[in-house]
Chains A and B, each alone.
Chain A
Amino acid sequence: MAKYKNNIALKPNSDHWLLSCIIGLMVYFAVLSISGNLSLSKISNQWVSDLSGNITIEIPPVFKEDKKTGIQTIDHELLEGQSDTLIEILGINDKIAKVTPLSKQDLLELINPWLGSNVSNNELPLPALIDVQIKEGNILDIKELEKSLQEHVKEVKVNDHMSWSKDLYKFTSTIKIISATLSISIIILAIMIIIMTIKSRMEVHRSETELLHLLGATDRYIAHQFQSQALHSSFKGTVIGVIAALITLFIISKISSSIDSNIIPEFSLSLKQWGIIAIAPMFISCLLAMITIRITAIKELQKMQ
């Protein structure tokens, strides 16, 4: 312990706080970016899992005309009849596990985020939808199925959810790459700031450093003096950054859970993920700061006599 007792006059001044603040800000953004990435992964995995193995049968609305008034309205009876026919046909397919027609209420809930709750499906030309779950491990030829169903209902369409999920997956992957790039940029920026801070601090304490060299101190010993001081500042900044990020994430989590929406997914992290977010940045940023400070200090010291 005696070996590394601090000997350099590094009094806590503004640049200590500056380093703490910069590191804190970097950690704050890095944590938000990483947790956003984690959350996005969770959401995209959920989307893919929800959509895989499902198809939707869509029967477009059929209209009938009132002979007296000439007004066109949806022929619900015909639509229901067509739906029942298709449910029957789908039910005997041995590759299909479950056939679920969507009720009027289900349809209204689907359009609720866009059109609000004060809409009646009698007023809108809504199609009839049938949710079909394919048996696990089976592959259904969608075009073949559509062709066979069109023999009974000419206008029917079969929608494969996997094609949507591929697009969603592509979209979330792009956002994840942008987020990871942002995190890496923040880390690189933090390293550059630490290097500049250490260099300027070494310049300020040049006289003390020179004295220690003349008294027989090794570069390692002197680097440790700077390292311990800067590490203290980095740790303080990291703790502040992590706490601020956790508070922000907690607020986002509360707000997202209070929004009753099918469009905006709820932001939620597992206990393990919360733990990782709280501990990993502290460990990583302190380790990164320690290595950066040590390498910078030793390189600078080697330039001296």
Chain B
Amino acid sequence: MHLIKFTNVSMKYGSNMPVLDNINFEIKPGSYHYLTGNSGTGKTTLMKLLYMGQMPTSGSIQILGHDVNRISRGKLTKLRREIGIVFQNFRLLNHLNIMDNIALPLRIASIHEDDIKNNVVELLQWVGLGDKIYEFPESLSGGEQQRAAIARAIINRPKILFADEPTGNIDENIGGKIMMLLEELNKLGTTVVVATHDESILKKFPHPSLNIENKKLILQPPRFSSEAA
């Protein structure tokens, strides 16, 4: 049983050398994985393949039982609603307040406005932004924007959450709180994949890693687990 399955997946841009070459791995429901590797090794490319931001050059990707290479446009839209994404640069819409930013996935899914408001207010309190509902992203700190981005990613109660460098733009203390949020989500049953190169995070919150080296993916056990304990 797997939520995500990559079979012989390769990715290259144009006529260049492949960024990822013949990648194979599976992710089981309720698991928590890190995606690690040095800069320029293809972490972002793999992340984009995971959240269906692009399609592979070759190979098969199965997500929640769908072959994403062969999926229809309509089904792809529905499948994307089962997935939450936290982008490295947050990608909040600056002209919308926090309430409307978080509500975006629900509005896209045509959820009733009353339900939207209740859910958003409750979630914002959970991520500690209860008093920032009507503020605009630019007036929030990096940590607050990241929490808002997480709230938007999970408002639809997704089965899988992808977070690309969620602590990349914020200080260590706030980063720790963000990671605690992701831990809690995982405990509630969400499958989590976090792309990071932050060693302290790997040490503090130990989980298996999918490490990219020389265009190949190697599954590594939780690192520094003894220190974290």
Q: How far is the CB of A241 from chain B (nearest CB, A)?
A: 29
Chain A residues within 8 Å of B91, by CB: 207, 211
A264 within 8 A of B: no
Residue of B nearest to A2 (CB): B113
User: What is the bound-complex CA distance between A218 and B109, given in angstroms?
Assistant: 9
By the criterion CB–CB under 8 Å, are B107 and A2 in contact? yes
Task: Collect the chain B residues with CB atoms within 8 Å of residue A302's CB.
Answer: 73
Contacts of A217 in B (CB 8 A): 77, 108
Is B218 in the interface zone, CB < 8 Å from A?
Answer: no
The reply on A266 being an interface residue by CB < 8 A is no
- Is B194 an interface position by the 8 A CB rule? no
Contact present for B93 and A215 (CB under 8 Å): no
Q: Which residues on A sit within 8 Å (CB–CB) of B104?
A: 7, 212, 215
B105 touches A5 (CB 8 A): no
A7 touches B78 (CB 8 A): no
A214, B80: Cβ atoms under 8 Å? yes
Residues of A within 8 A of B108 (CB): 212, 215-217, 221
A7 neighbours in B (Cβ, 8 Å): 93, 96, 100, 104, 107
Minimum CB–CB distance from B87 to chain A (whole Å) comes to 8
Bound CA span A9–B85, Å: 20
Interface residues of B in 100-128 (CB under 8 A from A): 100, 104-105, 107-113, 116
- A11, A207, A215, A216, most chain B CB atoms within 10 A: A215
CB neighbors of A among B63-83 (8 A): 73-74, 77-78, 80-81
Given A2-B110, A219-B73, A221-B108, A214:B93 Cβ within 8 A? no
Q: With A5-B107, A214-B80, A218-B77 in contact, is A305–B93 under 8 Å at CB? A: no
The answer to whether B105 touches A9, judged by C-beta atoms less than 8 angstroms apart, is no
Which residue of chain A is the closest to B155 with respect to CB atoms?
A215
CB-CB under 8 A from B80, the residues of chain A are 213-216
Contact B85 A214 (CB under 8 A): yes
Question: Is the Cβ of A11 less than 8 Å from the Cβ of B95?
Answer: yes
Q: Tell me, yes or no, whether B94 is within 8 Å of chain A by CB.
A: yes
**Contacts A2-B107, A7-B96 given; does A305 touch B55 at CB 8 Å:** yes
Q: Are B53's CB and A305's CB within 8 A?
A: yes
Please report which residues of chain A, range 134-164, place their CB below 8 angstroms from some CB of chain B when the two chains form the complex.
none
Instruction: Give bound CA distance, A94 to B182, whole Å.
Output: 106
A68 on interface, CB distance cutoff 8 Å: no
- Output the nearest chain B residue to A221 by Cβ-Cβ distance: B108
* Docked pose: A11 CA to B94 CA in angstroms: 11
Whether A208 sits at the interface, judged by CB under 8 Å, is: yes
Q: Is A2 a contact partner of B116 (Cβ separation < 8 A)?
A: yes
Is the C-beta of B25 less than 8 angstroms from some C-beta in chain A? Answer: no
- Of chain A, the residue at the smallest CB distance from B48 is A305
Whether B94 pairs with A9 at a CB distance below 8 angstroms is yes
Check if B58 is an interface residue, CB within 8 A of chain A.
no
What is the bound-complex CA distance between A102 and B100, given in angstroms? 82
CB distance from B49 to the nearest CB of A (A): 11
| Neighbour of B78 across the interface among A2, A216, A221, CB < 8 A | A216
B110→A3 contact, CB < 8 A: yes
Give which listed residue, A5, A208, A216, contacts B77 with CB less than 8 A: A216
Chain B hits for A210, CB < 8 A? 53
What is the CB-to-nearest-CB distance from B50 to chain A, in angstroms, rounded to a whole number? 11
Nearest first, the 8 A-B pairs at minimum CB distance are A216-B81, A216-B80, A217-B108, A2-B113, A9-B95, A3-B110, A215-B105, A218-B77
Other than the given A2-B113, A9-B95, A11-B95, 4 more pairs (CB < 8 A) read A211-B93, A213-B77, A213-B80, A305-B54
Please list the residues of chain B having a beta carbon within 8 angstroms of any beta carbon in chain A: 51-55, 73-74, 77-78, 80-81, 85, 91, 93-96, 100, 104-105, 107-113, 116, 152, 156
Can you list 6 residue pairs at the A/B interface with Cβ under 8 Å? A7-B93, A8-B93, A207-B91, A216-B78, A217-B77, A218-B77
